[in-house]
């Protein structure tokens, strides 16, 4: 049986066997050996956050006289190579690892040092050069925040904008489609389908606003505090230089923490963001479930709208089609709620000057951001833009609802209106007929009072 070729690497604890083809070194291999837990790796958005910091740190350290120009240039080239995606398989450490993220920080340091050594033709060291002026304790959370900022601006917020735009387009299209409102899942006074969709759009826009508030908080990072927030071994101006380079290159609102001891010991900004994501998930769930209810049928449900047919819905019932995208959205919501619980619990693990659940916090929040973005795009392109309204069925429900008798209150009073509604239900007659039979209103008056479209505009109908 063939075995993988190995080479010997060493660190401060001694020698370690490492796969000969691997770009990483001894500390990465120790973590691989120590944490064979889930088989899941950190998201590349977090890894790239680390690499971007190494990229900016190299140039800043050269500027501050910490690194020779040639070493800094080699590190920059190595970072650019990694950022192009050529070495994604060189970051094998499990998400369940040391709570500071030191293992993954060193993984990035070792890979970049290996590549930089090749570019320079001389040794570039992972700790002394790539990690110069840094500690895992300030770099890893900064990388987490940077990854979050990039995913919010590049993925989630644009997806939410498209979702809100799609919902608003349907709100306009359905502005004259009158239907029965529902409270407690029971018939209520009329509403337009467009008004319902405007509510969904507004909920998404409010979600965008909450996320933008949280994003500003996430923009404050602990870089420059090194191990415990004091900044030991980081020269003055290091954090400012790194963050300025990241702002210029990536366009992210990132800044040094006002208080490094808070920024080191707590991940409250990420907990706050996760709360905003969970709140938006509630809007997702309402949207998904309302669409499922309104499209239920086709014969024995509400059938007020038709969702695009995407795939067969049953392995046994021919012709059955299900609301698959709203169902997927509901499952995303379940995952986001679970991630929020993980993040909240992880956020509570700030012991003195360090939170010791940072990898799982980063994994959970980046997962929520990713799946909330992709399901938003799927909902727009595969569901919302293709929704069709059954106008006649919606109007029939509106006219059939006993709750339209509410508009009779100003004419005949609450008690008399209640009697009319009860008699209509008992006799299976419409409200107009009962009112006329009782001589309570003239035909002209009852037609005004029971104008279902007028009811959607509020006020007293006269």
Query: pLDDT tens per residue, the chain (462 residues)?
Result: 456 899 999 999 999 999 999 999 999 999 999 999 999 999 999 999 999 999 999 999 999 999 999 999 999 999 999 999 989 999 999 999 999 999 999 999 999 999 999 999 999 999 999 999 999 999 999 999 999 999 999 999 999 999 999 999 999 999 999 999 999 999 999 999 999 999 999 999 999 999 999 999 999 999 999 999 999 999 999 999 999 999 999 999 999 999 999 999 999 999 999 999 999 999 999 999 999 999 999 999 999 999 999 999 999 999 999 999 999 999 999 999 999 999 999 999 999 999 999 999 999 999 999 999 999 999 999 999 999 999 999 999 999 899 999 999 999 999 999 999 999 999 998 899 999 999 999 999 999 999 999 999 988 877
pLDDT for residue 1:
46
Count of CA atoms in the C-beta half-sphere (13 A) of 281: 23
> What does the alpha-carbon distance between residue 322 and residue 108 come to, in Å, rounded to a whole number?
45
Angle between helices 136-151 and 44-63 (to 10 degrees): 120
Instruction: Give residue 2's pLDDT.
Output: 53
Q: Cα–Cα distance between 240 and 173 in angstroms, integer?
A: 50
CA dist 111 and 176 (Å) reads: 61
| DSSP class of 51 | H
Catalytic residues: 184, 314
**In this structure, are residues 84 and 133 in contact, taking their beta carbons and an 8 Å threshold?**
no
For residue 430, the model assigns a pLDDT of 87
pTM: 0.96
User: What's the rounded Cα separation, in Å, for the pair 142 and 154?
Assistant: 18
Which segments within 265-321 are labelled E, that is strand? 305-306
In the DSSP assignment, the letter for residue 156 is I
Instruction: Using CA atoms of 48, 52, 54, 60 in order, give the dihedral in degrees to the nearest 10.
Output: 180
For residue 158, give the 3-state DSSP assignment: helix
The three-class DSSP label of residue 9 is: strand
Compute the distance between CA of residue 123 and CA of residue 96 in angstroms, rounded to an integer. Answer: 31
Give the separation between CA 87 and CA 450, rounded to whole angstroms: 69
């Amino acid at each position: 049986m063939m075995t993988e070729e190995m080479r010997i690497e060493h660190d401060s604890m001694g020698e370690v066997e490492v796969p000969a083809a691997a770009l990483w070194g001894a500390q990465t291999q120790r973590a691989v050996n120590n944490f064979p837990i889930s088989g899941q790796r950190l998201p590349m958005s977090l890894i790239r956050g680390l690499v971007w910091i190494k990229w900016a740190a190299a140039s800043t350290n050269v500027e501050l006289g910490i690194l020779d120009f040639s070493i800094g240039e080699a590190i920059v080239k190595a970072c650019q190579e990694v950022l192009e995606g050529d070495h994604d398989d060189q970051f094998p450490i499990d998400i369940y690892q040391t709570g500071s993220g030191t293992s993954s920080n060193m993984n990035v340091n070792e890979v970049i040092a290996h590549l930089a050594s090749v570019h320079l033709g001389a040794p570039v060291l992972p700790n002394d050069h790539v990690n110069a002026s840094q500690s895992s304790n300030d770099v890893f959370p900064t990388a987490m925040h940077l990854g979050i900022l990039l995913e919010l601006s590049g993925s989630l917020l644009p997806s939410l904008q498209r979702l809100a735009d799609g919902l608003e387009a349907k709100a306009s299209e359905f502005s004259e489609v009158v239907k029965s409102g529902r409270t407690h899942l029971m018939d209520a006074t009329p509403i337009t389908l467009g008004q319902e969709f405007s509510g969904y759009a507004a909920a998404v826009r409010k979600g965008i606003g909450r996320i933008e508030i949280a994003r500003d908080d996430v923009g404050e990072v602990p870089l420059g505090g090194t191990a415990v927030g004091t900044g030991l071994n980081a020269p003055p101006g290091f954090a400012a230089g790194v963050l300025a380079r990241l702002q210029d290159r990536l366009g992210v609102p990132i800044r040094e923490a006002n208080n490094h001891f808070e920024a080191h010991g707590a991940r409250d900004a990420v907990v706050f963001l996760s709360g905003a994501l969970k709140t938006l998930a509630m809007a997702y769930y309402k949207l998904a479930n309302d669409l499922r209810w309104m499209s239920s049928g086709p014969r024995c449900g509400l059938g007020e709208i038709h969702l695009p047919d995407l795939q067969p819905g049953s392995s046994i019932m021919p012709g059955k089609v299900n609301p698959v995208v709203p169902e997927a959205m509901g499952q995303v919501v379940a995952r986001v709620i679970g991630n929020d619980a993980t993040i909240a619990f992880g956020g509570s693990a700030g012991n003195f000057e360090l939170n010791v659940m940072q990898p799982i916090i980063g994994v959970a929040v980046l997962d929520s951001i990713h799946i909330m973005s992709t399901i938003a795009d799927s909902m727009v392109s595969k569901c919302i833009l293709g929704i069709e309204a059954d106008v006649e069925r919606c109007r029939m429900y509106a006219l059939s609802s006993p709750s339209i008798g509410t508009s009779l209150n100003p004419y005949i009073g609450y008690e008399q209106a209640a009697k009319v509604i009860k008699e209509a239900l008992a006799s299976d007659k419409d409200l107009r007929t009962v009112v006329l039979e009782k001589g309570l209103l003239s035909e002209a008056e009852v037609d005004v009072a029971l104008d279902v479209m007028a009811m959607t505009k509020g006020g007293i109908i006269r």
